Structure 1
Amino acid sequence: MLLPNVEKPYLITFPKLGAPEIGYISVTEQEKHIPFKVERVFWTYYTPESIVRGRHAHHATQQVLIAAAGRIIVTTEMPDGTVDVFRLEEPNIGLYVPPHAWHTMQYSHNAMQLVFASTHYSEADYIRSYDDFHRVWGSTNA
């Protein structure tokens, strides 16, 4: 069972302005569509389709993932065992990933992932072992 005040992953639709004949732009302003102050932005690209990235959770970091190009399959697991699979392939759709959500990503050959994060990079924020992910939450849920 999820603890109170623990958010689940959810999709965010950003404005899509334009038309097919001229192209589109999507935009957000600080904390307008993204539910936190953005402290870090990074992107991944040229990831082979056979590679599964992520395989971690965070203690504190919140993220919004966007497939700026291509397709990204994101699988999340919450401490109560709830597993969700999200297919990101529209550049105006983002996925909010809360802290403590174990997540993996698999990419199409042309995918570029854009990530907005709520914290600066800190290795100590990562839970990189699946067993540790369960141990951290097991002691919290006891």
Structure 2
Amino acid sequence: MIGKLIELPKITDPRGNLTVAEGALHIPFDIKRAYWVYDVPGGESRGGHAHRQCRELLVPVGGAFHVTLDNGRERETHLLNHPWQGLLIETGIWRTLEDFSSGAVCLVLASEPFEESDYIYDYDDFLKYVGCSR
């Protein structure tokens, strides 16, 4: 398995549920950056890159979407639709997010601050980075 689903603490309450994620406690890194993706038009995708050093946890805080992970040798697709679950993506993994439901929001918790040089945007460059060829 390329990605790992992580169950986050879900506190059930008749007034509404709550989920928490603490860095180095619930997820295997300290959180250095958080951002969210939303209002993705139908038929569009996000991601389309890999990271050299940054690890990420993707959490569907609203709605649902699919995440396809690729390590250069195999691919797997995850449906994210539970706000108490996150998908852990390690370094050197190509990711694509697609099929966003109406109103979907993807929260990303990252192990590193933004650094342009950490991104691999070209798939052929990614394959070279992980030692694979087409």
TM-score strictly above 0.5: yes
Q: Is 1:36 the equivalent of 2:29? A: yes
CA distance in 2, matches of 1:94, 1:134: 26
Give, in angstroms, the shift of residue 77 of structure 1.
0.4
Q: What is the CA-CA distance between 1:34 and the residue it aligns to?
A: 0.9
Taking the aligned partners of 2:96 and 2:23, their CA distance within structure 1 comes to: 26
What residue is the counterpart of 1:97 in the other structure? 89
Whether 1:85 aligns to 2:83 is no
Partner of 2:114: 121
- Letter aligned with residue 85 of structure 2: I
> 1:18 maps to which residue?
12
Q: Helix, strand or coil for the counterpart of 1:138?
A: coil
The alpha-carbon deviation at position 8 of structure 1 amounts to: 3.2
Instruction: Verify the 8 A CA contact 1:43 1:112 in the aligned structure 2.
Output: yes
Q: Which 5+ residue runs of structure 1 have no aligned equivalent? A: 1-6
The question of whether the paired residues in 1 share the 8 Å contact of 2:2 and 2:70 is answered with no
Say whether the 8 Å CA contact 2:66–2:78 is kept in structure 1: yes
1:136 paired with 2:107, answer no
The one-letter code sitting in structure 1 at the alignment partner of 2:2 is K
Runs of 4+ in structure 1 deviating by more than 6 angstroms, as ranges, are none
The one-letter amino acid of 2:24's match is E
Q: CA RMSD in A?
A: 1.6
Separation (CA, whole Å) in 2 of partners of 1:29 and 1:119: 15
Percent identical pairs in the alignment equals: 34
Question: Structure 2: where are the runs of 5+ without partners?
Answer: none
